[in-house]
A and B are shown apart, each in its own frame.
Chain A
Amino acid sequence: MLVVFSALVFLTSALAFITGPAKAVTGSTKEFVITARQWAYDPPVIEVEQGDEVIIRLKSTDISHGIYIEGYDIRADLILEEGMPNEVVLKFVADKPGSFIFRCSVNCGPFHPFMTGVLKVNPNYAFQGASILAVLTGMLSLLYLAVFRR
């Protein structure tokens, strides 16, 4: 158990390390028009490269919605009222690589807490690193048990 716990702590630190530091603007500008409805985004997944400047234009086909990007912790709310624009723009630099869930930030009905989409910022070092560690753990632990733990 101690070994597992130590591995767990090590793994957490290692994964955080291999994702690398935040990166300033180095890439191109990527613009997306995302249409929100109860309780989905279209497109549900957007993909950029690390360092890209990202512009998200959020529109709605029904009621007020918003967008909050986890990990980046930024948001934009689209409130549909008379005299207000039917679009809100979120602009940021995708400086952190990985996969980030974005979710509605304006209460839009029963399923609101589960209205989500995904921002993929390539390369996804965390997933790649974790996958390699998982394969190594699966195979090596069996090998270890079979050879050393009779």
Chain B
Amino acid sequence: MESRQQYRWRFDLFRIPLIKWFVRKRWFQFAVITPNLAIFFILMIAGFYGLPVGNKNVSVLVVWILWWAALMILLVPIGGRLWCMMCPMPAIGEWLQRRTLTQKNEKNLGLGKKWPKFLDNIWLQNFSFLTVSSFIGVLTTRPLATAVMLFALVIVLPTILHLLFERRVFCRYVCPVSGFIGLYSMLAPLELRVKSREVCLKHVGKECFKGSENGYGCPWYEFPQNLNRNAYCGLCMECVKTCPLDNIALNLRIGGDDLLVEPWHGIKKRGLDEAFKVFIMTTLSILYALVFVGPYGWLKDLADVMGGATFKEMWSPQGNLLLESFNVESFLLFAGLVWGSTLLAAPAVFFAFSYAAKLASGVKHIPLKKIFINFSYSLVPLSLMSWVAFSLYILLVNGSYIVAALSDPFGWGWDLFGTKHFPWTPVLTSIIPYIQAALLIAGLYLSVKLAYRIAQRTMPSRNAAIKAAIPFAAMLTGLCLLYLGLWLDSFYWGWIAW
């Protein structure tokens, strides 16, 4: 596979001098991060001090409609980890750690501890994403909750981690957003790779990992010479600055090969942490759709763990106290649904299909765990398309709220753009289901194709590969039918409605 990768189409964007000039500047990341950091600060202020109504407050609207849709529809499918390049979340912590905004310092601030070996996986990212998802009903409807989340993710957590540990452990191991971006970035048509691995292997300096006077060693703990997947390359471009041999390329490519290979050219093994990330994202794309678009009142009641009160009502003298409003029973049930469906139910179903594939293939010497892990990646295209379908719907139906909120971001009576009274206007509602259907079926095709390619690489013979791929093709088709049922047939199954 690695040798085949070299022959698939690539175009190095660094052949465009302006791009190369830009990313080689030490101020490059500062320049792309700072505008987003300013926006996130405005969103935090709006969340803390603005109107307490979610669909009138710019923090909720920009984070959960605009940013989420931009990530899922454009940035991740097209740019992979392009968002990580410009993400403001680790900025303050990293600037403190490096004691500079742009330059290269030899001495860092903080303890500079090594990240524990037993946490060298994405389980923490899985758990942080599930934690956010357990509160999703509150986060998407209460501006203060969104502001608290931003405060934690932009200021508190990254700063603590940057001062305790070396490099960017927050992005690499903890950030709830980074986990799924890494997963889906493996499909993206953009990659950072070395031009020639042989050149790297012969070169003893390894400045890309150790750092040099021109830049820092890879903040994401990646070793560019071994890089063969997008999953953990944050496109920070430090290696472009440090490589003395000009051996780094930023390629446009046909995406998807990353999902077939073991990390680091087979030096590392794919683990259950990534497989469970796939299950989490696949399952939550269904659960989110049911909560936010489905007709099930009981599910919304469960997700809305604050019992209908806004934070300001809860803290007002006439209102209930926070603990009285927080519905512990709802929270436990909803969190149970989120964690149970993603970590137990979905993997159990997938395990059954993996077992069926092993039986069908007739191959005994390949461990079931290997089949389970390898084939889990076949879900990636279809689940990404289901997120695109979900995000597109939310954007087109609720996006117009943003137009009004932007004119008065803090709820202080401003009318900056003359759109303060812009009415809620859903758009393209007649054709959204057809776009969703097309996306999902295209995702199904890509997933089945991937399942077959995985089978070819996992099984010892062509016959065994075809037989092993059949149960997964059936499972993927069933999943696609489920998604189509969600979006084109009412979200409605009588047995769950009551």
A residues adjacent to B (C-beta < 8 A): 1, 4-5, 7-9, 11-12, 15-16, 37-42, 44-45, 68, 70-71, 73, 96, 98-99, 101, 103, 105, 107, 109-118, 120, 124, 126-127, 130-131, 133-135, 137-139, 141-142, 145-146, 150
Q: Which of A5, A73, A134 contacts B484 (CB 8 A)?
A: A134
**Other A-B pairs beyond A99-B433, A126-B437, 19, CB < 8 Å:** A1-B254, A8-B441, A11-B442, A39-B304, A40-B298, A40-B301, A41-B297, A44-B497, A70-B432, A98-B488, A99-B492, A110-B53, A113-B398, A114-B293, A117-B295, A127-B485, A134-B484, A138-B480, A146-B452
CB–CB B438/A11 < 8 A = yes
Query: Which residue from chain B places its CB closest to the CB of A145 in the assembled complex?
Result: B452
B51-77: which residues lie under 8 A (CB-CB) from chain A?
A: 53-56
B294 at the binding interface (Cβ < 8 Å): yes
Q: Which of A38, A133, A142 contacts B469 (CB 8 A)?
A: A142
Please name all residues of chain B whose beta carbon is closer than 8 Å to the beta carbon of A98 when the two chains form the complex. Answer: 433, 488
A51 to B90, CA, bound (A): 57
CB–CB A110/B444 < 8 A = no
CB–CB B473/A142 < 8 A = yes
Query: Which residue from chain A places its CB closest to the CB of B493 in the assembled complex?
Result: A45
CB–CB A8/B452 < 8 A = no
Nearest 5 Cβ contacts at the A-B interface: A40-B297, A138-B477, A44-B295, A70-B429, A110-B141
CB–CB B308/A141 < 8 A = no
B467 vs chain A, min Cβ distance (A)? 10
A104 vs chain B, min Cβ distance (A)? 10
CB–CB A127/B295 < 8 A = no
Please name all residues of chain A whose beta carbon is closer than 8 Å to the beta carbon of B6 when the two chains form the complex. Answer: none
Query: Which residue from chain B places its CB closest to the CB of A5 in the assembled complex?
Result: B442
A96 to B476, CA, bound (A): 30
CB–CB B300/A114 < 8 A = yes
A–B complex contacts, Cβ < 8 Å, 28 sampled: A4-B445, A5-B442, A8-B438, A15-B438, A40-B301, A41-B295, A42-B297, A44-B492, A45-B295, A45-B490, A45-B492, A70-B426, A70-B430, A110-B142, A110-B310, A112-B55, A114-B291, A118-B492, A127-B484, A127-B485, A127-B489, A130-B441, A133-B437, A134-B477, A137-B445, A141-B444, A142-B470, A150-B462
B286-311: which residues lie under 8 A (CB-CB) from chain A?
A: 291-298, 300-301, 304, 306, 308, 310
Please name all residues of chain B whose beta carbon is closer than 8 Å to the beta carbon of A107 when the two chains form the complex. Answer: 53, 55-56
CB–CB A134/B304 < 8 A = no
B424 at the binding interface (Cβ < 8 Å): yes
Contact count band on B: 35 or more
CB–CB A126/B441 < 8 A = no
CB–CB B297/A44 < 8 A = yes
B109 at the binding interface (Cβ < 8 Å): no
A98 to B492, CA, bound (A): 13
Q: Which of A41, A70, A124, A141 contacts B449 (CB 8 A)?
A: A141
CB–CB B54/A141 < 8 A = no
A24 to B53, CA, bound (A): 41
Query: Which residue from chain B places its CB closest to the CB of A105 in the assembled complex?
Result: B424
How many pairs of A and B residues are in contact by the CB < 8 Å rule?
A: 177
Query: Which residue from chain A places its CB closest to the CB of B292 in the assembled complex?
Result: A114
Residues 428-467 of chain B, each 1 if its beta carbon lies under 8 Å from chain A, else 0: 0111111101111110111011011000000000100010
B401 at the binding interface (Cβ < 8 Å): yes
B481 at the binding interface (Cβ < 8 Å): yes
Residues 24-63 of chain B, each 1 if its beta carbon lies under 8 Å from chain A, else 0: 0000000000000000000000000000011110000000
CB–CB A15/B54 < 8 A = no
B302 vs chain A, min Cβ distance (A)? 11
* Given A7-B445, A45-B490, A126-B437: A116 touches B293 (CB 8 Å cut-off): yes
CB–CB B489/A110 < 8 A = no
* Given A111-B137, A134-B444: A101 touches B293 (CB 8 Å cut-off): yes
Please name all residues of chain B whose beta carbon is closer than 8 Å to the beta carbon of A139 when the two chains form the complex. Answer: 473, 477
Please name all residues of chain B whose beta carbon is closer than 8 Å to the beta carbon of A9 when the two chains form the complex. Answer: 438
B397 at the binding interface (Cβ < 8 Å): yes
B416 at the binding interface (Cβ < 8 Å): no
Query: Which residue from chain A places its CB closest to the CB of B141 in the assembled complex?
Result: A110
Please name all residues of chain B whose beta carbon is closer than 8 Å to the beta carbon of A5 when the two chains form the complex. Answer: 442
Please name all residues of chain B whose beta carbon is closer than 8 Å to the beta carbon of A109 when the two chains form the complex. Answer: 308
* Given A120-B492, A131-B484: A4 touches B429 (CB 8 Å cut-off): no
Query: Which residue from chain B places its CB closest to the CB of A119 in the assembled complex?
Result: B490
Residues 224-259 of chain B, each 1 if its beta carbon lies under 8 Å from chain A, else 0: 000000000000000000000000000000100000
CB–CB B452/A70 < 8 A = no
* Given A110-B306, A118-B492, A145-B448: A138 touches B474 (CB 8 Å cut-off): yes
